[in-house]
Structure 1
């Protein structure tokens, strides 16, 4: 009986562990997709790609957190937008603003 319970507990832990890894990979995939989309629109140099990847990864971690309030998520959108505007040149920002759908996706703003 103890072996059966131990086996069951082990299976449950393995399942939860794999689920957490899948979620992290999913967040990383979303962040990479955002970084690639931004790089295609504004022609990002290689050194900025990693910075934006980390920024978008952080964005998805916050936005997917069910425990955070809508106000906190809205503040995160503002921070993301400020970091994008502060990092990109005026010409790059103009290119990004020409694509409002992408800009809203990058900053995490929901389009209604």
Structure 2
């Protein structure tokens, strides 16, 4: 009886884990990075070098998000992406991004 109960518990645990993993959806990082860059280019002027750097940053973001991170790791990734954006862009460019409602959140999350 104990073996049957143990087997049932293990079965339920694995089936719950499998269904939780099915809900996670991976994205194509190159497509999503290009979408982020297009949204950003509508607000600020980007040169070729800056565009290339930002595409790399956004691809990194989506490649990392495709790893199905915990909430804490996602929050840390958001913070890191925002810090890298602030380090890459000028204060005036960041001000323009912050004025556009929801853009900074889209770029960092």
Q: TM-score, normalised by structure 1?
A: 0.69
Point out the structure with the larger helix share. 1
Q: List per-residue Cα deviations over 1:68-112 (Å, max 9, x = no partner).
A: 22111111100000011111111111110001311100000xxxx
Gaps of 5+ in 2: 1-24
**1:26: how far off?**
2.1
Give the number of equivalent residue pairs. Answer: 85
Is the counterpart of residue 82 in structure 1 residue 55 in structure 2? no
Q: Which has the larger radius of gyration?
A: 2
Q: List per-residue Cα deviations over 1:34-83 (Å, max 9, x = no partner).
A: 012112211111101011001001111112222x2211111110000001
4+ residue segments displaced more than 4 Å: none
Q: Distance in 1 between matches of 2:32 and 2:60?
A: 11
Q: What is the alpha-carbon root mean square deviation over aligned residues?
A: 1.8
Q: Please say if residues 97 and 103 of structure 2, whose CA atoms lie closer than 8 Å, have aligned partners that are also in contact.
A: yes
Is the counterpart of residue 29 in structure 1 residue 31 in structure 2? yes
Q: TM-score, normalised by structure 2?
A: 0.71
